[in-house]
Structure 1
Amino acid sequence: MNQYKSIIFNTARQEYALHLADHSEVARVVTEQKGFYKVMTDTEEGLLCQVTGKMRFRSASRENLPAVGDWVTIRKDEAIIERVLPRKSKFSRKMAGNEAEEQIIAANIDTVFILSSLNDDLNLHRIERYVILCWESGANPVVILTKADVCTDVAERVSEVEAALVGVPVLAISSLDRTGLEALYPYLTPGKTVALTGSSGVGKSTLTNELLQESLQKTKEVRDSDDKGRHTTTHRELFLLDSGAALIDTPGMREIQILQGSEGLSTQFNDVEELARSCRFNDCSHGSEPGCAIRIAIEEGSLSEDRYLHYEKLQREIAYMERRGNKRLESLERKKWKSMSKKRKN
């Protein structure tokens, strides 16, 4: 048994003491599949549970149900999850498709390792989207550039990403020869939780295996045709490392649509918003107005036009999704109370 496990669960019991009933036990969600949740307690590794019918009925959206990383209370003898305990952070995105539905990737995380390969697939705009989601979640982002062993200009690529992500740590590693892995250890200390995210084939499962020092996650070789790894992880899963840290591996994301992100956008593009506040006119559209600090910065070269245009695009997308989200929440609430009213009449 992990030497830190009892300490971690004792800390959780103290933190959530006010939420515990006499028959309840604290557990942490390890994985979810088809409505069942595998949870970890301080004495068991993989107890399979379901939520109560009451919890499922009262859940207006997927957000109200357990997610990987959640601390929950369970009735162990009945294998039932009674409630989701208050989250300190929640890394989520808009689900794929047209609905403004939230998908929680991981809960109660301290750090998100955003993985991207050091090959032709390196995309700064995509990384920025991950960073915004991360800032919005309440966790801290760390960008991990993988497969450094196949890159001939590692330092140059790291500098390029650092310039776009001011204040975000950017690390280059190779899981193949373990280069750079020691830089990850300060984030993997007892009681901390780190989630891995990124596109398919960037090396999340390989890194998980290296940190676990076991081949628990399936991996596949890089395709020769396009220099991309193949997707192997099919569900989110939490692992407890020997260091006492929890690591959450996640499937690769094909779409990174931002459901909510105003705060994350402001954090990531603080330089752009600071410039906007310096414009001569408060309602400056950053077009042809005199005294526009944005246009002056672009002309002088201190702000790239590409960065500003990407900021505008994300700003429009977030505003649109937040409007849609509000309408959807109103609709869900109406349906919920309508259903409850019908049940009372029957």
Structure 2
Amino acid sequence: GGATFHPDWAFHQFALASKLGPPLGESATITIDGAQYAFQPFALDTLYNKVPNWSDVRRLSQLANSADAPSVRLRDTLLTQTYARGAAIYHPDWAFHQLARTWNLGAALSDSYRVASGSAQYAIQVYATDTLYNVIPNWADVRRLSQLANAPRPAVLSAREAPAAAPAPKLPASAQLEPAPAAFHIVQYSSPQALAVAFGDRSGSKINLLVLHSAPGPVAQILADMTALDTQGMSHYVVAADGAIYQLVSDDCAAWHAGMADWNGRRQNINRISLGITAEQAGNYPAAQLAALAWLANTLRARYELPADAVLRWSDLAPDKPSDPDAFPWEAFRKRMK
């Protein structure tokens, strides 16, 4: 699973005793509502604890039906991380994802995709213990592939032949429609190493700009480089190709992502009056990433009462950096600024 086994770690002892299957990656930490958590996704469940209570290991599945706001935020943030380990994006309002959570199907092993069989189209998503599917556009009529296991002949996915799935929990009205992009989440990134110091004080300056950059992926390397002790620069936010959003520096601080440039009629330190956003560049910018960038920019604009033209590329301010962000679909992106 791309992870190192530590026989003395509580996570690994618990995973072995509970037969959770292989890990989907190394353990990591996140900050939610001011509290730091360690977590590690396994095939059948994700384990987590509050730092530094290492022995108080808990299972993400225990939060499946939580209703209180703090538990929902914790659950959805951990699910976002778990889905990302399977190269998928978690959508809390999608019927697939609600039912996979309720039925405890384990980690997603793929993103959702479509296939055709005869004249019908199906949406499908693979999980560790089962595969979910439905006939498009019957989004709420979610069925389990395991229900076809005892079919008398090779199963053909059709609404007429497929046995009914187990009764599904009642879904909200939004799940009856074609899945829409979920609300994005900002994950407070906590470096496993000592935190870098590539930021300073704003010296009383107001946030006037959002400045976009790009950096070659993978995103794990971008995060590691920006938080290394010897780093010379870091952005407030990093947006991964899969749409995950990481915050490295508080908005209250001046991150060293830009520098001196001409703006508003005079040369000044752009770091003190801006927030830096770096997009992972992994070839073209995928739709999920552009949607996340637009959501983040519009969220920050609303928070700091910024007009649409306050969102700039670093190349707009620094002519000697003509390709930052590199190969970015700028005109299409500007149309997303509300």
Tell me the TM-score range normalised by the shorter chain.
Answer: under 0.3
TM-score by length of 1: 0.25
Structure of higher RCO (CA pairs closer than 8 Å, 6+ residues apart): 1
- Higher share of residues assigned helix: 1
